[in-house]
Amino acid sequence: MLRADGMGLANCSSISNPIRKSSMKSVLCTALLLALAGQAAAAEFPSQPIRFVIPFSAGGPTDTAGRLIAEPLRRQLGQPIVIENRPGASGVPGTEAAVNSPNDGYTLVVGGIAPIVLVPAVKKLRYDVDKDLVPLGLIWRSPQVFAVRASLDVKTIADFVAYAKANAGKVTIGSAGIGTVTHLANELFKDEAGITFTHVPYRSTSNSITDLIGGQIDAIFGDVAILAPQVKAGAIKALAITSDKRSPLLPELPTMGEAGLPNVKTEVWFGLLAPARTPAPILDQLKRAVAAAQEDPDYRASLLKYGTVLNSVGSEQFADFIHAESRRWTPILQKAGVKFE
């Protein structure tokens, strides 16, 4: 067992002369020193605030998910969580910034389906999810709502499909950006309903909601937790939800299956990931802290308010989930011919 009590350094020093004759001993000595350094860093971790890089704008679902887990994680780690929103390009620049941050455990990224699964599936990036990031835990899963501007004279999905066919190519549907799950929901909807429309990508869901309320676009897909308050206020109209079951947030809203489009199933998910170069002892500490935060009663109660029910999903399960999502969405992306800037 390695011990950071000086014994390892003493042993390494005692073989300094033979090292000149044995490269193997040199490698072992270096590994020992690195391991001891990692253990020493872990013993002091965390000694300063943790930074959450959120690669989308404030107010959107990614931001909400990150801020919800921040408080229980703060209690576990004993340090403040500092939120840094870095929106743009389907979350890729913000994720890349986290990957390139110091490998000390003090920077984590709130990763979602776009920068973690969708964009890497069809475009070579400056980061490799499998090699450069370590999943710590899944923190959010929720369905999407299809909503239209309040002034649009439709009440059901069937009404909207008829309207879109009567106004082929003139209908506008927004998304949170090229390659986001909202964009893929648009593609699924288009194929299943047999309609055409103009896709209007935004920098975030919150930006698209603003224009939907203002009547600048006709419709959007958006996270149920984010759209529900606007629906209840009458600012927009919801037509269906993309889950198998109705949401407790909007119990009167039919599912896409009930509306006749059972294959239009999408969900928004987010998880915490760390740069893969982070020392293993610190990664282990972060994994334990995230797992404990997931069990926090206040956190679970908060998720329910947002229509999200999440079983604890640790590091290994989250990694398997990412791979399964990649297998599901890659052929859909390729069929749709989605291109990323």
Contact 96, 127 (CB under 8 A): yes
Ranges of the chain whose pLDDT falls below 50: 1-15
Does residue 256 form part of some domain? no
Beta strands in 202-310 (DSSP E): 219-223, 236-241, 267-275
Give the per-residue pLDDT at 268.
86
Q: Do residue 209 and residue 219 come from a single domain?
A: yes
Alpha-carbon span 249 to 251, nearest angstrom:
6
Give the per-residue pLDDT at 16.
52
Does residue 257 form part of some domain? no
Give the per-residue pLDDT at 128.
97
Alpha-carbon distances, residue 274 vs 32, 112, 258, 279 (angstroms): 24, 13, 40, 10
The amino acid sitting at 224 is V
Q: Do residue 138 and residue 149 come from a single domain?
A: no
Does residue 98 form part of some domain? yes
Q: Do residue 58 and residue 207 come from a single domain?
A: no
Q: Which residue has the tokens 């990763």?
A: 111
Q: Which of 58, 52, 59, 68 is nearest to 310 (CA)?
A: 68
Q: Do residue 153 and residue 210 come from a single domain?
A: yes
Does residue 258 form part of some domain? no
pLDDT tens by residue, 303-313: 988 888 677 78
Rg (C-alpha) for the chain, rounded Å, is 23
Q: Do residue 149 and residue 231 come from a single domain?
A: yes
Q: Do residue 93 and residue 180 come from a single domain?
A: no
Q: In angstroms, how far is the first alpha carbon of the chain from the final one?
A: 49
Does residue 261 form part of some domain? no
| CATH number, position 181 | 3.40.190.10
Q: Do residue 232 and residue 157 come from a single domain?
A: yes
169 torsion bin: left (phi>0), alpha (psi -120 to 50), beta (else): left
Task: Let me know the angle formed at the C-alpha of 87 by 53 and 82, rounded to the nearest 5 degrees.
Answer: 30
Q: Do residue 234 and residue 154 come from a single domain?
A: yes
In terms of C-beta density within 10 A (0-12 exposed, 13-18 middle, 19 or more buried), how is residue 24 classed?
exposed
Alpha-carbon distances, residue 340 vs 114, 188, 236, 244, 299 (angstroms): 11, 18, 29, 30, 35
Q: Do residue 149 and residue 233 come from a single domain?
A: yes
Q: Do residue 172 and residue 87 come from a single domain?
A: no
Q: How many domains does the chain have?
A: 3
Alpha-carbon span 275 to 105, nearest angstrom:
8
Contact 81, 103 (CB under 8 A): no
Does residue 111 form part of some domain? yes
Does residue 105 form part of some domain? yes
Q: Do residue 30 and residue 65 come from a single domain?
A: no
Alpha-carbon span 207 to 59, nearest angstrom:
9
Give the per-residue pLDDT at 146.
98
pTM for the model stands at 0.74
**62: domain range?**
50-142+269-336
Q: What three-state secondary structure class fits 265?
A: coil
Does residue 128 form part of some domain? yes
Q: Do residue 179 and residue 203 come from a single domain?
A: yes
